[in-house]
Amino acid sequence: MVLVLTLLFQAQIGDYLGTLQVNPSTSLRLGLHILKDDEGEWKGTVDSLDQGARGLPVQLTIEGQSIKFGSTIGMSYEGALSDSGIAGFFSQNGMKLPLNFKKVDKIEEAKRPQTPKRPFPYSEEEVVVRSGKIKLGGTLSIPKGEGPHPAVIFLTGSGAQDRDETLFEHKPFLVISDHLVKQGFATLRLDDRGVGKSDGILAYSTIEDLAGDGVAALDFLKTRKEINSKRIGFLGHSEGAITGPLAAVRTGEAAFVIMLAGTGVPGDEVLLEQGQAALKAAGAPPETLAFQAKFHKTFLPLVKAEKDNAVLARKIREAWDKLKSEDPAAAAADKMISPQLQMFLAPSMQSMIRHDPRPVLSQLNCPVLVLNGTLDLQVSAEQNLPAIGQALAKAKHADYTIVSLRHLNHLFQTAKTGAIGEYGQIEETIATQVLELVVTWLQSKKN
């Protein structure tokens, strides 16, 4: 009997791979790693392969053929082990979905063929940029050859991002930077506040704070003899394409601004459109679309109007209680949504909702390149590009180029639907046409 149990335990140890069908258009590959420690205790980690998250610790129990695991982020799983794998159900935020795992010899790394490999044909230097009391860690990449070189400051999108803007194991900022440096442009990439080697707390940081980080980065580059102080500009993606123009207006010394998936209308309008687009892509029924629209139209105006957080917290709770009493869908979603209401109290979220980019865009005094994908479901080209164009037409230096790129998503990958679930499944990190567009445009602005 001891021998049989030992062999059973050994058979259970290993790697498992499964696919979670979240909705008709979105699937996520999950990896499960099972092992036993020196004390004989079961240990486990989970990888969300298409989201680029690996090694998430889980509390794992195995009793006979029954297996259970869960994590601190509210995810849980119950299933039954067999020789070939595990059959069971995945649960999170009130959602329960079937999920079967197959035992595999190895879970392969995601294929990211565009990610450049070191050693690079240019120099890299670890640097620290001081933005007030905040220290930001980053990488300064400098081309070979005699300088001084024009330089590009990279500004990341929303959420905690490292200097490469790593998402789903893609490193778009590293890919763009590598391409630019090989064409003679120095680049500066920085970890977000509270990420990597940077100080601070991102959730407490407003768009104005992040624009200040951009100004500090420009001031830092002006001290470097390798950099042409008259040819420093900003390249921002998503939220970074909001902070870039604001930083340029503040400093008055930016040579150019590149906006990748930037907004042209107030943040509350962007979030409303973003939510609807994501649900439509997921095949959500009309009642779900209607509920989300009602949710945003209830809370976004509150956040926009009320500046006192204590009062705002009370108004949000009162509005949610009223919504639950009137709408069965709200009552059914209470456990899932109620904790998320706290996000409206974060300065970073409030800043995004309240920000109107148009007055800033109309004050720019440098050339601007604006790119957006037609399959971008997070920042709609149809909603934002016309507004950006109208604002830039009023700018002091009305030198701007706006390009809508067919079949590209929010990350500027060639996509089929633009759904977030595709990001990790696509091997391409960024379409080559984007890299070529950016370089060609920058080269045209050298003089």
Are 372 and 262 in a shared domain? yes
- Which residues 6+ apart lie within 8 Å of 399 measured at CB? 366, 367, 368
Q: How far is CA 173 from its chain centroid?
A: 12
Residues 6+ apart with CB under 8 A from 344: 299, 302, 303, 312, 316, 350, 353
Is 112 part of any domain? Answer: no
For 155-175, the DSSP string reads: E--SSS--TT--BTTB-HHHH
Query: What's the mean pLDDT when you consider all of the chain?
Result: 91
- Say if residue 139's pLDDT is above 60: yes
Residue 117 counted as domain residue = no
Q: For residues 115-134, give the mean pLDDT.
A: 97
Would you state the torsion angle of the CA atoms of residues 322, 324, 325, 328, taken in this order, to the nearest 10 degrees? 150
Residue 327, pLDDT score: 85
Residues 332 and 81: their CA atoms lie apart, in Å, by 33
Q: What average pLDDT does range 247-273 have in this prediction?
A: 97
Residue that wins the pLDDT comparison between 47 and 134: 134
Looking at the structure, tell me whether residues 159 and 205 fall in a common domain: yes
Q: 137 with 92, same domain?
A: no
Among 352, 369, 395, residue at a domain's last position: 352
Model confidence pTM above 0.75:
yes
28 plus 79 within the same structural domain: yes
Residue 179: what residue type? H
Provide mean pLDDT across the span 304-308. 94
Question: Is 218 among the domain residues?
Answer: yes
Residue 89 DSSP code: E
Spatial CB neighbours of 425, under 8 Å, sequence gap ≥ 6: 50
Among 263, 244, 236, smallest CA distance to 353 is for 263
pLDDT band at 326 (very low <50, low <70, confident <90, very high): confident
Domain end residue (candidates: 321, 336, 352) = 352
* Helices and strands, number each (H, E), in the chain: 14, 16
Helix, strand, or coil here: 144?
coil
Q: Which two tokens stand for residue 251?
A: 């400093």
- φ, ψ for residue 377 (rounded to 5)? -95, -5
Domain total of the chain: 3
Mean pLDDT across 287-308: 92
Residue range 62-90: mean pLDDT, rounded: 89
Based on the fold, state whether residues 19 and 83 are members of the same structural domain. yes
**CATH number, domain containing residue 20:** 2.40.128.20
Nearest residue to 202 via CA among 363, 343, 392: 343
Give the helix ranges, DSSP H, for 159-308.
Answer: 172-182, 207-222, 240-251, 267-281, 286-305
Q: Please compute the mean of the pLDDT values over residues 126-137 and round it to a whole number.
A: 97
Which range, 39-43, 45-49, 143-147, 240-244, is most confident?
A: 240-244
CB environment 73-99: b (16+ within 10 A), e (fewer) = eebebbbebeeebbebebbbeeeeeeb
Q: Are 271 and 239 in contact (CB under 8 A)?
A: no
Q: Verify that 397 and 430 share a domain, yes or no.
A: yes
- Domain boundary (304, 336, 352) is at 352
Structure tokens that stand for 243 in this block? 């902070």
User: What pLDDT, in 10s, does the model give residues 197-240?
Assistant: 999 999 999 999 999 999 999 999 999 999 999 999 999 999 99
Domain that holds residue 197: 123-266+355-444
Note the pLDDT of residue 9: 41
Rounded distance between C-alpha atoms, residue 109 and residue 114, angstroms: 14
**411 CB-near residues (< 8 Å, 6+ apart):** 167, 170, 172, 423, 429, 430
* 295 part of a folded domain: yes
* 408 assigned to some structural domain: yes
Token code pair at residue 404: 């809508």
pLDDT given for residue 431 in this prediction: 98
pLDDT at residue 201 in the model: 94
Same domain assignment for residues 348 and 397 = no
In a domain, 228, yes or no: yes
Q: Give me the pLDDT at residue 377, please.
A: 95
Q: Considering only residues 18 and 3, tell me which one the structure prediction assigns the higher pLDDT.
A: 18
CATH number of domain containing 190: 3.40.50.1820
The DSSP output letter for 51 is: G
In a domain, 191, yes or no: yes
Asked if residue 7 belongs to a domain, the reply is no
Asked if pLDDT for residue 355 goes beyond 70, the answer is: yes
Same domain, 304 and 347: yes
8 A C-beta contact, residue 7 and residue 19: no
Distance CA 145, CA 83 (A): 60
Do 136 and 250 belong together in one domain? yes
Same domain, 334 and 363: no
Q: Are residues 260 and 147 in the same domain?
A: yes
Verify that 399 and 250 share a domain, yes or no: yes
